[in-house]
Structure 1
Amino acid sequence: MAFQQGLSGLNSSSKALDVISNNVANASTVGFKNSGTVFADAYASSLTGAVSKVQIGIGSAVQAVRQSFTQGNITTTSNPLDMAINGNGFFEVELQSGGFALTRNGQFNIDKQGYIVTPLGDRLMGYQVEDPISGDVRAPATVTADSFRTMVIPSTGVGAAATTEVGLSLNLSADVETIDGATTPLDPNDPETYSYSTALKIFDSLGKEHSLSLYFVRRTDVVNSTWDVYTVLDNDTATLPATPNATLNFDGLGKLVPPSDFVLTSNLGPDADPSVINVDMSMITQFGGKSTPRELTQNGSAPGEIAGLSISRNGTIQARYTNGITKDIGIVNLTTVRNNNGLSPIGNNYWVETPESGGFARGEPGNGLNGVISAGQVEESNVDLTQELVQMIIQQRNYQANAQSIRTQDQILQTLVNLR
């Protein structure tokens, strides 16, 4: 009986040493989760052959090897596609061999086809919508099963966008003198003929840049103060209209009296389509002090190529283009299961679904029980080396003790055999 108990303890200690050695070997592996051995005692039967208070055990046995899915430390990297999960959830990847697997290893790169892949080449899953004609991809407004797919970074940039909206937010000084249009007509080259001017760049349908200059002339300063607004394109005085593009009326509180918008129609270039631009002046005020621009906006752009990527806490991948445009091109998926310890490890820090784990529940980072994403960072292994080394010493002593009991049993049997 002592021999059986010693042999059982020897096997259990050996199994525990294997688990600890694996933890120590993978202590520096990104996304690795340590394991612990769960032991149980083993009983053969009672000495009397029936239920009795005298039962002799036959040692211990390994009941399970259980992984710990506690959070590991977060380390900053220089790769913007590296991601760490703060909280619950796994990255889901499509395996090259088929099927899906889960991982906490957030080290990702882009392959030659533009897919976001692990170091093994397995593709990251997320949410994207693809234009069937142009192949352009974008983040869906709402994540659905239809938009769940392998994540790809588009190889093409964004095309030109003609300016269709201009917004003016500025203050026109209430202290300036009025200018009589009958005696002093507007001359863009003579600052004495207008009260204030500003300019901004706009774009035609080909993405070519043009200049839109606006000239403000104060006409009256009683009851409702009025200002005339004129436009000039590309500093060409020939484009100056004979009559104002619009007239602004201000009340005694310096606020605009609607309407305050106008539409500018022009041919910005011989090869470009005609431009129709709505100029919004609702944010213009008239207060004392200097005439000052607050914000001048327009929605056109030149063509551009991808210059960089960033990933938000909620998993949104945003592309930055050389023309200053930013665009959401996808959302990283996080997957959870009801029972993490029911997952089956398949190596390479991958786990797959089993009946004990429950089915995959997919969603956006930060939604429900899902954790959030930290971009440019990775989650280190949660192995505590100090604790593992202490456990190794303890298991080595247990191993030696059980080995000694077997040696003693062997010596006793040898003595009995040698009796004459």
Structure 2
Amino acid sequence: MSFNISLSGLNAAQKDLDVTSNNIANVNTTGFKESRAEFVDVYAASLLAGGKTKVGDGVLTADVAQQFAQGSIKFTNNALDLAITGNGFFATVPEIDSLEKTYTRAGEFKLNADNFVVNSSGGHLLGFPVNPDGSSSSVALSTAEPIRIPTASGAPQQTGEVDIRMNLPAGDAYITAAPVGFDPTDPLTFNHSTSITIFDSLGDSHIMTYYFVKEDPAVTPATSEWTMYTAVDGIMVDVPGGTNNIANPTLANDPGGPATINGATLSFSSGGDFVAQSPALITTAALNANILTNGADTTQTVIVDFNLDTAGPNPNEPTQFASNFEVTSLEQDGLAVGRLTGLDIDADGLVRATYSNGTSEPLSRIALVNFANNQGLTQVGGTSWKESLVSGEPLAGEGGSGTFGTINSSALEQSNVNLTSELIDLISAQRNFQANSRSLEVDNQLNQTILQIR
């Protein structure tokens, strides 16, 4: 019996050495969770045996339990390096259409050839679908799908409106030859000009220029009037319903274009406030095929919005003060085709892509999964686990909600192994092994002594 007791002690000491060695081997493994060998004594007695004199039957390894304590956070320069602070696991699937889920704390993710977010083992990171405002449409694990990062932001958007805020100098002299003599190529025929880049239906850019000509104050003494003419890529564009027709100076370069060009009229009070415009809606004529030569939509028109407020002065309106010509705001609503320039991942797991055209788009929200009993998870290697009967069913949710931890982008959770403690445990396990070996040796000597008795 003593041989069996010593042998069980040797086996337990060897198991302790194995567990400690495995912890030390994975001290630099991202997302690794240390294990602890748990032992119980063995005690067996028959019904009629004397319980008061019964000796135990040795030791048994009851469990090798992983310890899911938080590991330290290491910061990196990769936005797809993810670390969880608190409870939760990332969920991954081996293939896009697979239902076989594995769970991990190792957040070393990257993009594969198809722009899916994957880990080193090729597992696809799962995320919840999101609405355009970034809110989650569902947080059920059954609706989670592999996260994919598109390289383009979709179709371009043609410019439909330009917003202008500016000051036109009150002290400017009017152009005596205007409007008949206006020529966009001659700076002496207009007072000021400004330009903005607009986009057609194909996302191609064009330069839209606005020319401002001060009119003779003797014509309308109650107000000061300016005429605004427009051109796109150097070709004059008519303002339907406008006034102050001029002979088209670019007619030779614009075959089929109008013989005259209308401009919009802007009226200011003696206090410099913007009081009226003509027409009421300032819009350009359709940008014809001589301007859009790339096959874009030639029915495109552009509204020029001066934010006229008939109720009174408005800080968004243009002004006519005794100051220099100054454009304080010049914006348009068109977009070129955007290319991916970066990723932002919030603490709640929202993945937002930013593009070269200045737009950003929410793509997905990283799914976090928790279990009633983390130690009941089945280890499958690759710093991953799978659900088991002992762990309970997976509960999915968003980062930072409920009992779920938060997600850190550009960070990794290091192993939670304490190397100093493991080295001490290694020494303790070694001495335990030596002591049980000595016990086995003494048992053998006693048996030899008994066998030598005659």
TM-score, normalized by the shorter chain, greater than 0.5: yes
Task: List per-residue Cα deviations over 1:148-182 (Å, max 9, x = no partner).
Answer: 212223466633321123333x4416x63265578
Tell me whether 1:362 sits opposite 2:406 in the alignment: no
Q: Describe the shift of the 1:179–1:335 C-alpha distance in structure 2 as closer, same or farther (beyond 3 A).
A: farther
Taking only the aligned residue pairs, the percentage that are identical comes to 35
- Whole-Å Cα distance in 2 between the matches of residues 72 and 296 of structure 1? 51
Could you list the runs of 5+ residues in structure 2 that have no partner in the other structure? Answer: 246-261, 308-315
Match of 2:171 in 1: 177
Structure with greater Cα Rg: 2
For normalisation by structure 1, the TM-score amounts to: 0.81
Q: How does 1:100-119 map to 2 (within 5 A)?
A: 100-119=101-120
Q: Describe the shift of the 1:12–1:226 C-alpha distance in structure 2 as closer, same or farther (beyond 3 A).
A: farther
Secondary structure of the equivalent of 2:334? coil
Q: How does 1:35-54 map to 2 (within 5 A)?
A: 35-45=35-45, 49=49, 52=52
Q: Describe the shift of the 1:156–1:215 C-alpha distance in structure 2 as closer, same or farther (beyond 3 A).
A: closer
Whichever residue aligns with residue 13 of structure 1, its letter is A
Q: Describe the shift of the 1:281–1:354 C-alpha distance in structure 2 as closer, same or farther (beyond 3 A).
A: farther
Match of 2:19 in 1: 19
Match of 2:286 in 1: 266
2:152–2:355 contact (8 Å) kept in structure 1: no
- Whole-Å Cα distance in 1 between the matches of residues 369 and 281 of structure 2? 49
Match of 1:409 in 2: 443
- Whole-Å Cα distance in 1 between the matches of residues 420 and 230 of structure 2? 74
Task: List per-residue Cα deviations over 1:116-145 (Å, max 9, x = no partner).
Answer: 22222222211348xxxxxxx989753324
Whichever residue aligns with residue 170 of structure 2, its letter is V
Q: Describe the shift of the 1:224–1:370 C-alpha distance in structure 2 as closer, same or farther (beyond 3 A).
A: farther
Tell me whether 1:302 sits opposite 2:319 in the alignment: no
Q: How does 1:80-95 map to 2 (within 5 A)?
A: 80-95=79-94
The structure in which a higher percent of residues are strand is 1
- Whole-Å Cα distance in 2 between the matches of residues 312 and 296 of structure 1? 32
Alignment RMSD: 3.7
- Within the candidate set 367, 392, 396, 1:333 is matched to 367
- Whole-Å Cα distance in 2 between the matches of residues 159 and 280 of structure 1? 25
Q: How does 1:8-407 map to 2 (within 5 A)?
A: 8-45=8-45, 49=49, 52=52, 56-96=55-95, 99-128=100-129, 141-144=135-138, 145=140, 148-154=144-150, 158-168=154-164, 170-172=165-167, 176-177=170-171, 180=174, 184-185=178-179, 188-189=184-185, 196-216=192-212, 229-237=228-236, 239=238, 242=245, 243-245=262-264, 247=266, 262-267=282-287, 268-270=291-293, 271-273=295-297, 274-282=299-307, 283-284=316-317, 286=319, 289-407=323-441
1:166–1:279 contact (8 Å) kept in structure 2: yes
Q: Describe the shift of the 1:256–1:402 C-alpha distance in structure 2 as closer, same or farther (beyond 3 A).
A: farther
Instruction: Name the stretch that deviates more: 396-405 or 40-49.
Output: 40-49
- Whole-Å Cα distance in 2 between the matches of residues 64 and 223 of structure 1? 95
- Whole-Å Cα distance in 1 between the matches of residues 405 and 148 of structure 2? 23
Secondary structure of the equivalent of 2:23? helix
Instruction: Name the stretch that deviates more: 87-96 or 177-186.
Output: 177-186
Q: Describe the shift of the 1:390–1:256 C-alpha distance in structure 2 as closer, same or farther (beyond 3 A).
A: farther
- Whole-Å Cα distance in 2 between the matches of residues 55 and 278 of structure 1? 98
Task: List per-residue Cα deviations over 1:189-238 (Å, max 9, x = no partner).
Answer: 56566565321100111222111223456778999877654433223346
Q: Describe the shift of the 1:250–1:345 C-alpha distance in structure 2 as closer, same or farther (beyond 3 A).
A: farther
Q: Describe the shift of the 1:86–1:231 C-alpha distance in structure 2 as closer, same or farther (beyond 3 A).
A: farther
Whichever residue aligns with residue 213 of structure 1, its letter is T
Match of 1:6 in 2: 6
- Whole-Å Cα distance in 1 between the matches of residues 175 and 402 of structure 2? 64
1:366–1:372 contact (8 Å) kept in structure 2: yes
Whichever residue aligns with residue 104 of structure 1, its letter is R
Instruction: Name the stretch that deviates more: 304-313 or 25-34.
Output: 304-313
Whichever residue aligns with residue 81 of structure 2, its letter is D
1:229–1:247 contact (8 Å) kept in structure 2: yes
Deviation at 1:93, TM superposition (A): 0.6
For normalisation by structure 2, the TM-score amounts to: 0.76
Deviation at 1:258, TM superposition (A): 9.0
- Whole-Å Cα distance in 2 between the matches of residues 347 and 51 of structure 1? 45
Instruction: Name the stretch that deviates more: 230-239 or 214-223.
Output: 214-223
Secondary structure of the equivalent of 1:392? helix
Could you list the runs of 5+ residues in structure 1 that have no partner in the other structure? Answer: 130-136
1:179–1:193 contact (8 Å) kept in structure 2: no
Deviation at 1:255, TM superposition (A): 7.2
Q: Describe the shift of the 1:417–1:324 C-alpha distance in structure 2 as closer, same or farther (beyond 3 A).
A: same
1:233–1:239 contact (8 Å) kept in structure 2: no
Aligned residues, how many? 409
Deviation at 1:29, TM superposition (A): 1.3
- Whole-Å Cα distance in 2 between the matches of residues 246 and 3 of structure 1? 109
Secondary structure of the equivalent of 2:56? strand
- Whole-Å Cα distance in 2 between the matches of residues 150 and 225 of structure 1? 62
Deviation at 1:92, TM superposition (A): 0.6
Deviation at 1:363, TM superposition (A): 2.8
